[in-house]
């Protein structure tokens, strides 16, 4: 009986251990299944989430592409190709001068319903003989007058044309924006007559920088262009004078130059705000009158302020006179207003001179005959000087 009882106890103990192992195994299996199920569910959700993100990204690209296409169609109606035939004199092998005819092309855009066109000065060479424009629909208009162009030493590379006979075509002016509101990284679109052959070519990019100064070669000499926008939107020869527009289809700059010598995706454009004073003058009077101050200055930077121990770090410093180079031109608006060498002009009509805005660009936003207030630092003290702007002399 004792052996039977002992044997029975062993069997019960074995059964108990087996049951316990089954319970433990079942518990572990359920936990594993939970982990596996959770992992599969998470993986499925990630795949589904990835599909949604890809779809959203694709839709964003499509929306942007459609927006750019719409802008190109809308603004493109205001863009014209500018065709120029000019006479120049060339010297042959024997030293005799002979007249030759040259053809060139650029871009412009309509700024008024009565046919005023804005373009670059270098698109219209000095003494251009014949100028015509081609509308976006291919219509060539030959009765075109050159209203005027800034002089070759002016850092603002601007010229105006007038379409005198539109052949019954309704001219659509471009909508002008505010270049001061554009930020680095903003999407921009350039439209122009690329290489003088491909009308209304559209390229896109971003605003890469502002306040740039570059050396441009024009009419046999080098000129400094100031306060330019930099963009990576492709700007090629022939694009000059065309509009650089924002995502709202408003012109925020005038395509002007591209870096030569192997650089890629570096183009420059004149902020439209810098030309608004001239635009208003031309639209009101039909004449190009460039307001000027009449000083020689340098743009103040941190380094320049430190080197010359200046009391401010931003502004236009009127440099001391040198032989043949006066600091203030005789009988100029600056001379009449009492400006002096070593004055630092910090504001024009309340607008601060800084990396975005040079003295020339701020003066250019006003009209001939307008009185503006300059904020000037003289001998460390700030004061205000009123000056009446006059038309810049031809030379």
Task: Identify whether residues 148 and 201 lie together within a single domain.
Answer: no
Q: Who wins on pLDDT, 111 or 261?
A: 111
Mean pLDDT to the nearest integer, 37-44: 49
Per-residue pLDDT band at 374 (split at 50, 70, 90): very high
pLDDT recorded at residue 22: 44
Task: Identify whether residues 196 and 249 lie together within a single domain.
Answer: yes
Q: Which residues contact 193 (CB under 8 A, 6 or more apart)?
A: 81, 82, 105, 106, 107, 199, 200, 201, 238, 239, 242
Mean pLDDT to the nearest integer, 357-381: 91
Tell whether the model's pLDDT for residue 36 goes beyond 60. no
Task: Identify whether residues 245 and 194 lie together within a single domain.
Answer: yes
Per-residue pLDDT band at 239 (split at 50, 70, 90): confident
CATH number for the domain spanning 233: value is 2.40.10.10
The alpha carbons of the chain give a radius of gyration, in whole angstroms, of 34
Q: Who wins on pLDDT, 353 or 257?
A: 353
Q: Determine the Cα–Cα distance for residues 195 and 120; give it in Å rounded to an integer.
A: 15
Task: Identify whether residues 251 and 302 lie together within a single domain.
Answer: no
User: DSSP string covering 350-381, please?
Assistant: TEEPSSS--HHHHHTTS-TT-EEEEEEEETTE
Task: Identify whether residues 186 and 268 lie together within a single domain.
Answer: yes
Report if residue 350 sits inside a domain: yes
Tell whether the model's pLDDT for residue 87 goes beyond 90. no
Task: Out of 284, 308, 337, pick the residue that ends a domain.
Answer: 284
pLDDT recorded at residue 201: 87
User: Which of 78, 81, 136, 157 does the annotation list as catalytic?
Assistant: 157
Task: Identify whether residues 142 and 231 lie together within a single domain.
Answer: no
Per-residue pLDDT band at 90 (split at 50, 70, 90): low
Task: Identify whether residues 297 and 240 lie together within a single domain.
Answer: no
Task: Out of 262, 284, 306, pick the residue that ends a domain.
Answer: 284
Q: Determine the Cα–Cα distance for residues 358 and 232; give it in Å rounded to an integer.
A: 22
Contact yes or no for 300/314 (Cβ under 8 A): yes
41-50, 104-113, 203-212, range with the lowest pLDDT: 41-50
With pLDDT > 90 as the criterion, what percentage of the chain qualifies?
A: 49
Q: Determine the Cα–Cα distance for residues 156 and 254; give it in Å rounded to an integer.
A: 11
Which tokens sit at 346?
């910090």
pLDDT recorded at residue 7: 41
Report if residue 174 sits inside a domain: no
Report if residue 51 sits inside a domain: no
Does 137 qualify as catalytic in the annotation? no
pLDDT recorded at residue 21: 43
Report if residue 147 sits inside a domain: yes
> In this structure, what are the phi and psi dihedrals at residue 90, rounded to the nearest 5 degrees?
-120, 145
What is the per-residue pLDDT across 247-278, written as a single tens digit (0 to 9) for each?
Answer: 999 999 999 977 655 556 788 999 999 999 89
pLDDT recorded at residue 371: 95
The listed range with the strongest mean pLDDT (99-108, 198-207, 300-309, 370-379) is 370-379
Which tokens sit at 18?
């087996």
Among 294, 293, 284, which Cα is nearest to 373's?
Answer: 293
Task: Out of 258, 284, 310, pick the residue that ends a domain.
Answer: 284
Per-residue pLDDT band at 365 (split at 50, 70, 90): confident
Which tokens sit at 35?
């982990």
Does 240 qualify as catalytic in the annotation? yes
Q: Which residues pair with 216 in a beta bridge?
A: 223
Task: Identify whether residues 194 and 239 lie together within a single domain.
Answer: yes
User: Residue 13 belongs to what H/E stretch?
Assistant: helix 2-76
Report if residue 60 sits inside a domain: no
Determine the structural domain holding residue 186 and report its residue range.
179-284
Tell whether the model's pLDDT for residue 29 goes beyond 80. no
User: Which of 122, 136, 327, 358 does the annotation list as catalytic?
Assistant: 122
Task: Identify whether residues 276 and 325 lie together within a single domain.
Answer: no
Does 154 qualify as catalytic in the annotation? no
Tell whether the model's pLDDT for residue 338 goes beyond 90. yes
Tell whether the model's pLDDT for residue 34 goes beyond 80. no
Which tokens sit at 305?
């302020």
User: Residue 385 belongs to what H/E stretch?
Assistant: strand 381-388
Tell whether the model's pLDDT for residue 322 goes beyond 80. yes
pLDDT recorded at residue 32: 47
Q: Which residues pair with 136 in a beta bridge?
A: none
pLDDT recorded at residue 378: 94
pLDDT recorded at residue 315: 94
Q: Determine the Cα–Cα distance for residues 80 and 136; give it in Å rounded to an integer.
A: 6
Query: For the chain, what is the domain count?
Result: 4
pLDDT recorded at residue 226: 80
pLDDT recorded at residue 1: 44
Report if residue 58 sits inside a domain: no
pTM score over 0.85: no
Chain mean position to CA 47: 41
User: Which of 240, 281, 327, 361 does the annotation list as catalytic?
Assistant: 240
User: DSSP string covering 29-76, please?
Assistant: HHHHHHHHHHHHHHHHHHHHHHHHHHHHHHHHHHHHHHHHHHHHHHHH
Task: Identify whether residues 296 and 380 lie together within a single domain.
Answer: yes
pLDDT recorded at residue 104: 83
Which tokens sit at 88?
């120049």
Tell whether the model's pLDDT for residue 347 goes beyond 80. yes
Report if residue 72 sits inside a domain: no
Task: Identify whether residues 197 and 271 lie together within a single domain.
Answer: yes
Please return the burial class of 143, using the count of CB atoms within 10 Å of its CB with bins 0-12, 13-18 and 19+. Answer: middle
User: Residue 269 belongs to what H/E stretch?
Assistant: strand 267-271
Q: Determine the Cα–Cα distance for residues 221 and 153; give it in Å rounded to an integer.
A: 10
Half-sphere exposure (Cβ direction) of 87: Cα atoms closer than 13 Å: 6
Task: Identify whether residues 152 and 200 lie together within a single domain.
Answer: no
pLDDT recorded at residue 258: 73
Q: Who wins on pLDDT, 96 or 245?
A: 245
Q: Who wins on pLDDT, 144 or 261?
A: 144
pLDDT recorded at residue 12: 42
Among 362, 343, 344, which Cα is nearest to 352's?
Answer: 362
Report if residue 233 sits inside a domain: yes
CATH number for the domain spanning 340: value is 2.30.42.10
124-138, 171-185, 252-266, range with the lowest pLDDT: 252-266
């Amino acid at each position: 009986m004792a052996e039977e009882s002992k044997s029975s106890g062993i069997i019960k103990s074995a059964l108990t251990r087996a049951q316990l192992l089954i319970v433990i195994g079942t518990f572990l299996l359920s936990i594993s299944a939970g982990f596996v199920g959770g992992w599969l569910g998470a993986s499925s959700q990630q795949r589904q989430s990835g599909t949604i993100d890809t779809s959203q990204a694709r839709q964003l690209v499509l929306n942007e592409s459609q927006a750019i296409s719409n802008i190109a169609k809308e603004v493109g109606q205001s863009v014209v190709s500018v065709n120029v035939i000019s006479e120049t004199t060339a010297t042959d092998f024997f030293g005799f001068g002979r007249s030759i005819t040259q053809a060139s092309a650029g871009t412009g855009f309509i700024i008024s319903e009565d046919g005023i066109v804005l373009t670059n000065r270098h698109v219209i060479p000095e003494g251009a003989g014949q100028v015509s424009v081609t509308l976006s629909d291919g219509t060539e208009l030959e009765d075109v007058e050159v209203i005027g162009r800034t002089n070759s030493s002016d850092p603002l590379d601007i010229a105006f044309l007038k379409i005198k006979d539109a052949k019954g075509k309704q001219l659509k002016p471009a909508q002008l924006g505010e270049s001061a509101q554009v930020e680095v990284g903003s999407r921009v679109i350039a439209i122009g007559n690329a290489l003088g052959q491909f009308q209304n070519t559209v390229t896109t990019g971003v605003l890469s920088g502002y306040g740039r100064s570059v050396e441009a070669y024009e009419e046999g000499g080098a000129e400094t262009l100031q306060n330019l926008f930099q963009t990576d939107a492709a700007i090629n020869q022939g694009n000059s004078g065309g509009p650089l527009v924002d995502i709202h289809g408003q012109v925020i700059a005038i395509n002007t130059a591209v870096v030569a010598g192997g650089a890629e995706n570096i183009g420059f454009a004149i902020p439209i705000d810098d030309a608004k004073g001239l635009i208003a003058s031309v639209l009101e009077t039909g004449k190009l009158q460039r307001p000027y101050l009449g000083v020689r200055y340098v743009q103040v930077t941190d380094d320049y302020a430190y080197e010359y121990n200046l009391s401010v770090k931003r502004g236009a410093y009127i440099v001391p006179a040198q032989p043949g180079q006066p600091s203030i031109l005789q009988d100029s608006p600056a001379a009449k207003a009492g400006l002096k060498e070593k004055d630092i002009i910090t504001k024009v009509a309340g607008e601060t001179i800084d990396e975005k805005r040079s003295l020339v660009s701020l003066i250019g936003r006003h009209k001939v005959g307008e009185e503006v207030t300059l904020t000037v630092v003289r001998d460390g003290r700030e004061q205000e000087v009123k000056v009446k702007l006059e038309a810049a002399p031809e030379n």
